[in-house]
Structure 1
Amino acid sequence: MIRILAVYPNDAGSRFDGDYYRHCHAPFAHRLLAPFGLDSVRTVLGGAALDGTSPAYWAVSEMLFATRAAFDEAMAQCGAALFADLPNYTTVTPVLQVGTLAEEDIKEGA
């Protein structure tokens, strides 16, 4: 299982509509990507930095796919539609990263 992280930086002067993201974009993305192997999506919306100032990131979303090939195919087929929806909720371009969950790599007694 791979994890694709979409990180939305809180750049100076940027905006992010968390309600639109949660109620419109995320369900839209799930409907588009599920037929290509999307297992699940989890999103954390930034509330504040520890000192109470604005968060460094508007949001971090994690999408789980069985393989990198499945994600690549999903983006080849649906990426344009997903990115076309960006202006509806943000002025920043998400930074995408491929990763694995560290605990999945740790074996008992190792």
Structure 2
Amino acid sequence: MIKVSVLYPYAEDMSFDMDYYLGSHMPMVAERLGDALKDSSVDQGVAGGGPGQPPPFAAVGHLVFESVEAFQTAFAPHTAEIMGDVPNYTAITPTMQISEIRL
């Protein structure tokens, strides 16, 4: 199994509309990816490691697939639509990481 994590770095002067992300963006992503998507979750950053530190990420979205190939096959036809929706909830440029789930 693999996890695709989409990380939105925190910046004090940037906003992130979590209501839109949870209520519109993630449901649209799940619908487009269909049965290839095995699980998903969203983390909202609340703090950094030390007292009073901001979180390193405003939000992180996680998508789980059987394999990198399953992700690429499901995502490719919808890339423009999914990425085109990002400005509806943030101006933050996301970073994507694909990881193998080990535990």
Same fold (TM over 0.5): yes
Instruction: Give the TM-score taking structure 2 as reference length.
Output: 0.89
Match of 1:66 in 2: 66
RMSD over aligned CA atoms reads 1.4
Unpaired segments ≥5 residues, structure 1: 104-110
Give the direction of change, closer, same or farther, for the CA distance of 1:23–1:52 in structure 2 (3 Å limit): farther
Unpaired segments ≥5 residues, structure 2: none
Count, aligned residues: 102
Instruction: Indicate the structure (1 or 2) with the bigger Cα radius of gyration.
Output: 1
- Tell me the percent identity: 32
| Whole-angstrom CA distance in 1 between matches of 2:3 and 2:9 | 19
**Correspondences of 1:28-107 after superposition (within 5 Å):** 28-35=28-35, 37-50=36-49, 51-103=51-103
Structure 1's consecutive aligned runs of 4 or more residues displaced over 6 angstroms after TM superposition are none
Q: Deviations over 1:49-85 (max 9, x none)?
A: 2423432101111100111111111221111100110
| Whole-angstrom CA distance in 2 between matches of 1:20 and 1:53 | 26
| Whole-angstrom CA distance in 2 between matches of 1:40 and 1:74 | 14
